[in-house]
Structure 1
Amino acid sequence: MERPELPLQQLHAFIVLAEELHFGHAAALLGIAQPPLSQQIRRLEDKVGHPLFHREPGRVTLTPAGRELLPAARRALADLADGLAAARDIGSGRAGRLRIGFAASLALTVLPGVLRTFRERFPAVHLDIHEMTTAPQLAALHDKTIDIGLLREPPADETQLGFKTVLTEPFVAVLPSAHPLAAQRTIRIGQLADSPFVLLPRHVGPRLHDQIVGLCTASGFTPRVAQHAVEWQTVCALVETGLGVSLAPASIRRIRLKGIAFRGIEPSTARTRVAVAWRKNDPSPLVARLLATVSQDPPKRP
Structure 2
Amino acid sequence: MERPELPLQQLHAFVVLAEELHFGHAAARLGIAQPPLSQQIRRLEDKVGHALFSREPGRVALTPAGRELLPAARRALTGLADGLTAARAVGSGRAGRLRIGFAASLALTVLPGLLRGFRHRFPDVDLDIQEMTSAPQIAALHDRTIDIGLLREPPTDETELGFRTVLSEPFVAVLPSTHPLAAQRAVRIGQLADSPFVLLPRAVGPQLYDQITGLCTAAGFTPRIAQHAVEWQTVCALVETGLGVSLAPASIRRIRLKGVAFRGVKPDTARTRVAVAWRKYDRNPLVGHLLATVSQDPPGLSRPAP
| Aligned mates of 1:265, 1:299 — CA distance in 2 | 21
* Alignment match, 2:113: 113
* Alignment match, 2:139: 139
1:126-147 CA-partner distances (Å, limit 9, x unpaired): 1111111111111111111111
Does 1:257 find its partner at 2:257?
A: yes
- SS of the residue corresponding to residue 15 of structure 1 reads helix
| Aligned mates of 2:79, 2:122 — CA distance in 1 | 23
| Aligned mates of 1:68, 1:165 — CA distance in 2 | 61
* Alignment match, 1:181: 181
| Aligned mates of 1:26, 1:11 — CA distance in 2 | 13
How far residue 121 of structure 1 moved from its aligned partner, in angstroms, is 1.8
* Alignment match, 1:91: 91
| Aligned mates of 1:71, 1:14 — CA distance in 2 | 11
Q: Which amino acid aligns with 2:68?
A: E
* Alignment match, 1:233: 233
* Alignment match, 2:26: 26
| Aligned mates of 1:236, 1:158 — CA distance in 2 | 31
Q: Within 5 A, what are the aligned runs for 1:39-54?
A: 39-54=39-54
Q: Which amino acid aligns with 2:139?
A: A
1:73-122 CA-partner distances (Å, limit 9, x unpaired): 11100000110011011111111111111111111110111112212222
- SS of the residue corresponding to residue 151 of structure 2 reads strand
1:122-173 CA-partner distances (Å, limit 9, x unpaired): 2221111111111111111111111111000011001111111111111000
Q: Which amino acid aligns with 2:45?
A: E
How far residue 301 of structure 1 moved from its aligned partner, in angstroms, is 2.4
Does 1:300 find its partner at 2:303?
A: yes
Does 1:171 find its partner at 2:174?
A: no
Give the superposed CA RMSD: 1.0
1:173-217 CA-partner distances (Å, limit 9, x unpaired): 001101111111111111111111111111110110000011111
| Aligned mates of 1:100, 1:147 — CA distance in 2 | 6
| Aligned mates of 2:172, 2:303 — CA distance in 1 | 18
Q: Which amino acid aligns with 1:114?
A: L
| Aligned mates of 2:248, 2:2 — CA distance in 1 | 67
* Count of matched residue positions in the alignment of Structure 1 and Structure 2: 302
- SS of the residue corresponding to residue 301 of structure 1 reads coil
| Aligned mates of 1:241, 1:142 — CA distance in 2 | 38
- SS of the residue corresponding to residue 170 of structure 2 reads strand
TM-score, normalised relative to structure 2? 0.96
* Alignment match, 1:213: 213
52-61 or 124-133: bigger deviation: 124-133
How far residue 299 of structure 1 moved from its aligned partner, in angstroms, is 2.5
- SS of the residue corresponding to residue 3 of structure 1 reads coil
Q: Which amino acid aligns with 2:55?
A: R
How far residue 3 of structure 1 moved from its aligned partner, in angstroms, is 3.1
| Aligned mates of 2:159, 2:31 — CA distance in 1 | 57
- SS of the residue corresponding to residue 4 of structure 2 reads coil
| Aligned mates of 1:3, 1:215 — CA distance in 2 | 70
Q: Which amino acid aligns with 1:180?
A: P
| Aligned mates of 2:257, 2:92 — CA distance in 1 | 45
Q: Within 5 A, what are the aligned runs for 1:154-169?
A: 154-169=154-169
| Aligned mates of 1:3, 1:137 — CA distance in 2 | 45
Does 1:150 find its partner at 2:153?
A: no
Give ranges in structure 2 of 5+ residues lacking alignment.
none
Q: Which amino acid aligns with 1:160?
A: E
- SS of the residue corresponding to residue 113 of structure 1 reads helix
| Aligned mates of 1:51, 1:271 — CA distance in 2 | 78
| Aligned mates of 2:191, 2:229 — CA distance in 1 | 23
* Alignment match, 2:65: 65
* Alignment match, 1:248: 248
* Alignment match, 1:286: 286
